[in-house]
Amino acid sequence: MKKDFISLKDLSAQEIEKIFGLTDKIKKNSQKFSQALEGKSIGLIFQKPSNRTRVSFDVGIWQLGGHPVYLSPEEIDLGKRETISDAAKTLSRYLDAVVLRTFLHQDIIDFAKAAAIPVINGLSDFEHPCQILADIYTINKKKKYLKGITLAYVGDGNNVCHSLLFGASKMGINIKVACPKNYEPNKEVVGAAKKFAKKARSLVSLTNSAKEATKDADVIYTDVWASMGKEHEIEERKKVFAEFQVSSRLVSYAKKDFIFMHCLPAHRSQEVIDEIIDGKHSVVFEQAENRLHVQKAILVFLLGERL
Ligand code: CP
Ligand code: NVA
């Protein structure tokens, strides 16, 4: 049976730990893995722009001895030029796996259903699992442990927030989400995260107060106020989210050794000020680097059965 990587809700804590162990192994002994994807071609299909996801997958596949095939939004025109199912069935005849960035999460699910090859979610409107796995790996490296860490997510209850809710709750990280009214994360995601947290003995909480969430936090995480596809709402959102900016005042409520995280791209002077994102607590470029390492492990986890 092929394995997909679409949502962090489908991964167990043990599988996440296995991917982190594999990440360390690949980092330490890259030579051993330089042919892990030999003879394999991986499609990179993007409906939206990308810097980190596109480049880190392209370079990572190449470092593992595989062949990346990038298809831009215009080239594939997913769901318009032909049905998603026909595109998935065709690509399954050429490729060994696909990384897919779509507007609609359902498109990734539909593609995966029709495809005979593993499908990796490279961001949808609902989740960003590769990002969050790299982020949890980064927290573990910085703080040396995960269980009992308190992470405050401040901002839009979006794709990044959803994957954080799943990932943190599975790994025993306490997560406090602060969003403006009507911009909260999906209720079912919060409900599922609460169940995972119960098993991992951690906490999930939701508030409309950024101050309340950041109090005594080990990690402060934020993301853009208007995600890709919602840019036209930015003027309205600037007003609604003003209180949720990661400012010097807001971080003063966190623990003294807090780390600041952002998946990037950042909109400086909106969700975060320069002083914080460029300051000594920021680990945003470690996060970006770890995309490369963790995604190589995800590829080996899904495809490198012989290693
Ligand atoms: N964080 C992230 O996924 O960045 P890109 O949109 O540039 O890929
Ligand atoms: N929430 C953002 C994340 C970008 C990596 C978006 O979807 O645009």
pLDDT tens per residue, range 230-258: 999 999 999 999 999 999 999 999 999 99
DSSP H/E element including 41: strand 41-46
* Per-residue tokens: 278: 């460029």
* Per-residue confidence (pLDDT) for residue 201, from 0 to 100: 96
Average pLDDT over residues 1-9: 95
**How many other CB atoms sit within 10 Å of the CB of residue 278?**
12
Q: Pick the catalytic residue from 130, 156, 263, 295.
A: 263
Q: Cα(153) to centroid of ligand 2, in Å? A: 14
Given 52, 54, 105, 128, the catalytic residue = 128
| Active site annotation includes 263 | yes
Distance of CA 305 to the CA centre of its chain: 24
110-139: average pLDDT? 98
Q: Is this structure's pTM higher than 0.95?
A: yes
| Distance, CA of 262 to CA of 211 (rounded, Å) | 18
pLDDT at residue 76, rounded to an integer: 82
Is the minimum distance from the CB of 228 to ligand 2 under 6 angstroms? Answer: yes
CA distance 16 to 306: 19
State phi, psi for 279 to the nearest 5 degrees.
-85, 180
The length of the chain in residues reads: 307
Tokens 């308190």 belong to which residue? 150
Q: Hey, what are 87's tokens?
A: 């595109």
- Tell me how far apart the alpha carbons of residues 100 and 113 are, in angstroms, rounded to a whole number: 13
DSSP 125: S
Q: Which CATH class is domain 8-128+291-306?
A: alpha beta
Say if ligand 1 is within 6 A of residue 290 CB.
Answer: no
β-pairing verdict for 174-178 and 204-207: parallel
C-alpha 109/C-alpha 113 separation (Å) is 6
Q: Is the pLDDT of residue 7 over 80?
A: yes
Residue 67 identity: H
Assess whether the region 8-128+291-306 and the region 131-287 belong to the same CATH fold: yes
Catalytic status, residue 52: no
CA of 51 to the centre of ligand 1 (A): 5
CATH tag for 131-287 (out of 3.20.20.70, 3.40.50.1370, 3.40.640.10, 3.40.630.10):
3.40.50.1370
Residue boundaries of the structural domains of the chain: 8-128+291-306, 131-287
Cα 124 to ligand 2 centroid, rounded to whole Å: 9
Active site annotation includes 237: no
- What is the CB neighbour count within 10 angstroms for residue 198? 12
Task: Please choose, from the candidates 162, 156, 124, the residue with its C-alpha nearest in 3D space to the C-alpha of residue 234.
Answer: 156
Is 161 among the catalytic positions?
no
The pLDDT of residue 305: 62
pLDDT at 271: 98
232 is catalytic: no
Q: What is the largest CA-CA distance in the chain?
A: 55
